Structure formats: structure tokens, C-alpha cells
Structure 1
């Protein structure tokens, strides 16, 4: 859908909007075409969860695409935006979060060997400090997007991500503590040393 706005916007695309589009598309290309084939295990996702995720992504992509290619002030995403500190910091934060998310996902995928079942306590890296570094990485990613786009649309996505992943991280952390009596006492749910 984001590409639809790129091609059918009444405004010409700029280097800044194209760069943001490429960043967005690269994230979702991985999420849709690569990540599902990397998941191990036989856990099935309920259909209602899939449908709600599709609905949210449809709405969110509409909001982000409309902002970037139709609603943003025409003076915002000019070529100079690529050198603006908000863009540079935002993109840096985006990719730092993306790297953390992918690293955490890799560690989670490799907790079990092929054919092995059961659960294990993740460890190493940021897992030494929090139970859900994959969620923290996702939150950092969309914090970067909000900064790079400097928009209410970006903030909308960040707030939704926090509202979705914050409670899930707390629930996962609680589950780990209940399931594993030897779960590391100092480990927090989502934010090292805090939450």
C-alpha cells in the first residue's frame, strides 16, 4: 500500500520520501517474506490474531503513506531533509533498533535445536538484562521512524507499538518467572534496570 502512495500521489516524490519508503519497505519485506520462514516450532497463530494484525498494518500503512506522499508539508521532505539531524538521528536509531530486534530473534530461534521441543531461558546479549529485547528493538525501531519522519503519523505508530508490546513484554516476563524457578532475578521485562 505504501508503494501505491508513491506512484499515485499528486506530489512528486523526493529523495527524502523515497529514502523513507525504502526503509519502510525493507523492514516489511523482511517481516513478510523472510521472517515467517525462519520461525521454528509448530505453534499456530489464531486466525483472529492474523486478521487483527492485517487490519492494523493496513490502517498504519495508510496513515504513514498518506503522510509521506500527500499530507506532509511540501517543504518538509526536501533534499535537505536527508542532512537534517532529525532524519540522521532517526535513521540511526531505526537501524539500531532493527539490529537489536534481529539479534534477539536470532537468539530466540536458536534456543532449541531442530526437533527439540520445550522451553528454555534465553541468555546472552541484552537477554542478560531483559526478557524481551526483541520487543525493545521493535520499539526502538519505530522511535527512530517517528524521529526520522518528524510526524504525528510516526508518533501514532510508536504509541501503538508501545501499547501493544509493553504489556506483552510484562506478560512474557511474568510467564518466564512462573515457568522457570531459576529465572534470573535481576532481569527486567523490557527496559534494563527499570521495567
Structure 2
């Protein structure tokens, strides 16, 4: 594919980020759990939905990556490892740790598949074909800053999910999560994922990476605000100083 045509896919993702952000100001995405509700058509078990919708981000990314001429070079291979570290966990580990019996609308699952295919194409093709990452990139501060942010965001994301799972083991319904990032915000799992992908954008220093980071923010920030509102409405003793997404700010 000519690089000019590839740019249109990047622009499409940037446009999708804007559309998603606006849409989520009016609609809370019913992924299941506390925000699950009827009226969205057929549903599947949440575990099935997560596997089906997230697996293309891992599998398709690898296939697209292997099409590029730089696929065997050290820096692109490191980027491949970072990407797979997130999506193998998200698609093939996280769903099997879920204890919830909630269900996910099929339409939500299908929309997520379409986005993940677009995003996998945009980012995989950049790092293995259109981008230029000589070995000297490993000494660039942007690489190390980006990787450090990615690792910190990944740890926060996974650690926050672990805290939520522990709450559900009691079988006593929803409770206020405590500890870790929950000391500061209502959705540290979302905060961590946003940090991850801005780290990716810096490490790859690419518009493709930035498009994904902006889309992640457009998708997760409204959901974090919805979670925050739900906690405050559900629990009268919810910590007043806890923010939704950014400690002490938002």
C-alpha cells in the first residue's frame, strides 16, 4: 500500500476518536457489569465478548507486522513485544479471570473488532514498514521515556484489575475498591491504559501511536467519569477527595 493511502487510515482513526468522545458524552457503553442494560440487541457472555473482540488486536497485529520489511529488526521486534504484552493479557488472560456472569451486547463486540482491526493495521504497518527505527533508536530518550510510561501504565492497569477481582470474590455485590491507584481515582485501570498508550506514542514517536493514545483517551475518559458518578450515587460514604481519572485534577 502506498504511504499516502496508509495516511488515510491514520486520519480515520483520529476522526473516530473525535466521534467516539462526542458519542460517549450521551451514551454509556454497555460492556456489562454495572453499566449493563437491555435494549442493545442480542448478547453474549462477557468472557466470550472480551476474547472475541480483543483477540484481533493481538493476532491481526502480528500478521500485519509480518508483512513489513523491517519485521526482523531489533527495535520493531521490541515494539511487537510491548504490544503483545498488553493484548495477550487482555485477550487471553484477563477474560478467564473474570468472575462476573454479566453479558455484552453483540453490537458492542462487533464495533470493538472493527476498531481493533483498524488500529492493528495502522500501528503494525507503521513499526514494521513505514517507520524508521535503526538500532540507535535504543539510545534515544524518547524510546526510554515511552517504554517507562508504558511499563508503569501496564502495571497500574493490571494491578487495578486485580484489586477489582478480589472484591468480587466475596460474592457480596459491589463495594468501594481500596488500595493501589484507587486511593486517588475511581478508575485507575483506565488511567493506566491511557498512560500505556501515550507511552507507546512517545516510544514510537509516530502519528499512528498518537492516534491510538487519543482514541484510548476518548473511549476511556467518559467511561471513567460514568464509573465515578455511579460510585458516588451508589455509596453515600464514597471518598470525597477521590477523582475520576487523574489524581487531584479530574
Q: CA deviation at 1:149?
A: 0.4
1:181 aligns to 2:240 (yes or no) = no
**Corresponding residue number in structure 2 for 1:34:** 93
Offset from partner CA, 1:29-67 (integer Å, 9 cap, x none): 111111100111111111111111111111000000111
Find the partner of 1:66 among 111, 125, 133.
Answer: 125
**1:148 correspondence with 2:203:** yes
Q: Measure how far apart 1:12 and its partner are.
A: 5.3
Which runs of structure 1 show a deviation greater than 4 angstroms over 4 or more consecutive aligned residues?
none
Contact persistence 1:101–1:135 (CA under 8 A): yes
Q: Quote the residue 2:218 is aligned against.
A: 163
- Name the CA distance, whole Å, in 2 between partners of 1:136 and 1:190: 6
Taking a change above 3 Å as real, the CA distance of residues 3 and 118 of structure 1, as seen in their structure-2 partners, is same
Structure 2 unaligned spans of 5+: 1-59
Q: C-alpha offsets along residues 109-138 of structure 1, whole Å, 9 cap, x if unaligned? A: 101225x14110011122111100000000
Contact in 1 for aligned 2:66/2:128 (Cα 8 Å): no
- Number of matched residues? 191
Pairwise CA distance, 1:2: 2.2
What are the residue-to-residue correspondences of 1:40-189 with 2, within 5 Å? 40-72=99-131, 76-113=132-169, 116-189=171-244
Higher mean C-alpha displacement, 10-19 vs 138-147: 10-19
Cα distance in 2 between the residues matched to 1:192 and 1:8: 41
Which stretch of structure 1 is more off in the superposition, 42-51 or 171-180? 42-51
Closer, same or farther: CA 110–7 of 1 in aligned 2, 3 Å: same
TM (norm. structure 1) is 0.94
RMSD: 1.2
Give the deviation of 1:11 after TM superposition: 4.3
Any conservation in 2 of the 1:15–1:79 contact (CA below 8 Å)? yes
Gaps spanning 5+ residues in structure 1: where? none
* TM-score, normalised via structure 2 length: 0.74
Other structure's SS at 2:66 match: helix
Structure 2 SS opposite 1:45: strand
